[in-house]
Amino acid sequence: MKQPGRADGQVLIEVLIGLLIFGLISTAFMSGIFTSRTTSEVVSEQVAAESLLRVEMEYVKETPYWGLGFSYEVPGTPPPWDSGRTDLGTAYAGYSVSVSGTPVDASSHDPLPSGLDQGMQLIEVQVFRSGEPLLTTATLKINR
């Protein structure tokens, strides 16, 4: 039985419009969830990289002054003063660090020629994840 005032097919159009609106809202909602998840992963990666950077910088600062410079990577080539340091631990799986200490002039902070050391080094630490650089920092270390 036909309802008065309703054209044939009008219900079908209303259902299709409702489905279209529902689809648009669902797509926007799923896009928001995906963006939130991706942002969370990036932030987590940055927090881990910053933590590793600080840990490594403190490690280098606490070691005795190593004259004439140095360079090492963990995992990989351990520091010259600690041959047993070959990994970063399970908390930093997938990450690596590259550290260098270059003797610098005490007044200008310019790098010194090879073989010279005036008791001051520029320490640079880089953090990588899967080979991609994430963070880099530098500081000075003085032989005291």
Q: Is the pLDDT of residue 1 over 60?
A: no
Q: Is the pLDDT of residue 7 over 80?
A: no
CA distance 72 to 100: 6
What's the predicted TM-score (pTM) here? 0.73
Give residue 31's domain range.
10-142
| Average pLDDT of the chain to the nearest whole number | 89
Let me know if residue 5 belongs to a domain.
Answer: no
Let me know if residue 1 belongs to a domain.
Answer: no
Total tally of structural domains belonging to the chain: 1
Which of 124, 125, 120, 110 shows the shortest CA–CA distance to 143? Answer: 120
Let me know if residue 4 belongs to a domain.
Answer: no
Q: 3-class SS at 103?
A: strand
